[in-house]
Amino acid sequence: MHIPLNPNAPYTIFWFRQDLRIFDNLGLFEAAKIGPVIPIYIWDEDHRPDSKTGAASKWWLHHSLNYLNHSLDNNLNVYKGLPQEVINHIINTHPVKAVYWNRCYEPWRVTEDAKTKILLKERGTECKSFNSSLLWEPFTILKADKTPYKVYSAFYQNGCLKSSKPRELIPRPEKLILIKDHSNPTTLDHLNLLGSIPWHSKLEHHWDVGEKAAQKKLMTFLNSNLKGYKENRNYPAMKAVSRLSPHLHFGEISPHQIWHTLDQEETCQDKNHFLSEIAWREFSYYLLYHFPTLPYKNFRPQFDRFPWEKNALLLKAWQKGKTGYPIVDAGMRELWQTGYMHNRVRMIAGSFLVKNLLLHWHHGRDWFWDCLVDADLANNSASWQWVAGSGVDAAPYFRIFNPVTQGEKFDPTGLYTRHFVPELSKLPDQYLFKPWEASPEILKNARIILGKDYPTPIVDMKKSRQAALAAYKTGHT
């Protein structure tokens, strides 16, 4: 519902950030209980140059904000600038008595929240922040000695599951009176999230964006893919995962809804495993909150001495999916074409970058950040440190995925690999993940000239493994 501005009415600003939904939005629900709401979104990227949003994420954000605006009957107010300055301006020009928002946990947003609360306190304006993004607040889950957990299993089993249950779901506001700020000239298009080159048109074939799409995806997963999830999730061709990650990142669906919806299902290993995956997301945010240098600094200091290579050609070959290792290339091309990569293949491609090419995990972090529609600072940082071996609760460095055996095990029919690496589509299964072992006759019948139609391996698997282990030993002495 929209009403005209009334200078005598007390308004509440609700500040949307990574909670672009109406259902189970605690902050919005509480704001609507007070009275008329001015719904706002602030694009402040120009004022935080060290945390630029990736291109694929900008595409998603544009469409998510557009969907949210329609859900709010075109009453979403979009602004550009520093949040404190924007909010201060709105309060100066409209009768605002309170500002509400849901908490975010990126380091700069924690700082942003603190500054905003100081400003509002000095003005005498009520402000409240709420938890609508995590099942458990990071500062509430601590060990007996009041220090943060550093091991996932202990965090989940001893911390989360023995803590209070995630809060119950919040309904849509019964009465949501919305205020449009007609004095604000900024529109969604002014944010220029899509840019001038329509590279992102390829993503539109793979994703539906918005709260309704997120709700539908959750139900599709429950009805079609939950059964067998624990095992099937490892096979990229099966499409057995939920693909809810971008919806979760932008807050088009809450983790609480996913948790409680799954909790109603009959107890089984598939349900428990999926809930544990939701808890991994919680753990990533937990680490980011307690260790805010996680996105750029090795959690394990001994990795500061690691002898990383510098090779732009190898990096580019990895980015473009031209390494000569088909399962790695399939994953990197899936990323480039769809803005997404299956989690099993993310681990394989990540291991290949840091352990076979000996390139710093920062390169992988940055490429994924720009290309993933589900790019998330907490997940991206924790996952890359995990695969590099430099993080908390990390995979041992000597655990080096072999892309040949991984491809043969998890894409046994080659359906996934052949889809994204079509130049190998006619190669027999026996040689699909190691085309260099195929005879000249087999390659000819498959219409492949190695080095021309498909690259030869950019590194030798055995030698690169030995080099990685030697580098690990050197970097830890």
pLDDT in tens, the chain (477 residues): 455 555 556 899 999 999 999 999 999 999 999 999 999 999 998 777 667 899 999 999 999 999 999 999 999 999 999 999 999 999 999 999 999 999 999 999 999 999 999 999 999 999 999 999 999 999 999 999 999 999 999 999 999 999 999 999 999 999 999 999 999 999 999 999 998 888 888 999 999 999 999 999 999 999 999 999 999 999 999 989 999 999 999 999 999 999 999 998 888 999 999 999 999 999 999 999 999 999 999 999 989 999 999 999 999 999 999 999 999 999 999 999 999 999 999 999 999 999 999 999 999 999 999 999 999 999 999 999 999 999 987 777 788 999 999 999 999 999 999 999 999 999 999 999 999 999 999 999 999 999 999 999 999 999 999 999 999 887 655
Q: Which two tokens stand for residue 140?
A: 């509430």
The Cβ-side half-sphere exposure at 179, using a 13 Å CA radius, reads 24
Q: Is 384 a catalytic residue?
A: yes
Which pTM value belongs to this model?
0.95
Q: What does the alpha-carbon distance between residue 181 and residue 13 come to, in Å, rounded to a whole number?
A: 11
Which of 382, 362, 391, 396 shows the shortest CA–CA distance to 138?
382
Q: Is 367 a catalytic residue?
A: no
Identified catalytic residue from 108, 184, 343, 408: 343
Q: Which domains does the chain have, with CATH numbers?
A: 11-133 (3.40.50.620), 134-169+211-290 (1.25.40.80), 301-475 (1.10.579.10)
pLDDT at residue 476, as a whole number? 59
Please provide the distance, in angstroms rounded to a whole number, between the alpha carbons at the two ends of the chain. 66
pLDDT at residue 473, as a whole number? 86
pLDDT at residue 48, as a whole number? 73
DSSP class of 437: G
Q: Is 15 a catalytic residue?
A: no
Identified catalytic residue from 280, 311, 336, 408: 280
The answer to whether 238 touches 232, Cβ cutoff 8 Å, is yes
Q: What does the alpha-carbon distance between residue 228 and residue 250 come to, in Å, rounded to a whole number?
A: 28
Identified catalytic residue from 384, 386, 402, 423: 384
Q: Is 298 a catalytic residue?
A: no
The 10 Å Cβ neighbour count of residue 14 is 26
How far are the Cα atoms of 19, 125, 456 from residue 116, in angstroms, in the given order? Answer: 18, 11, 55
**Helices marked H in 224-268:** 229-232, 245-249, 255-263
pLDDT at residue 393, as a whole number? 77
Identified catalytic residue from 43, 207, 259, 361: 361
Identified catalytic residue from 308, 311, 336, 408: 308
Residue 277 has phi, psi (to 5 degrees) of: -70, -40
Identified catalytic residue from 277, 311, 336, 408: 277
Helix, strand, coil % over all residues of the chain, rounded to 5? 50, 5, 40
Q: Is 207 a catalytic residue?
A: no
pLDDT at residue 274, as a whole number? 97
How far are the Cα atoms of 134, 140, 255, 273, 366 from residue 131, in angstroms, in the given order? Answer: 7, 12, 11, 24, 28
pLDDT at residue 475, as a whole number? 62
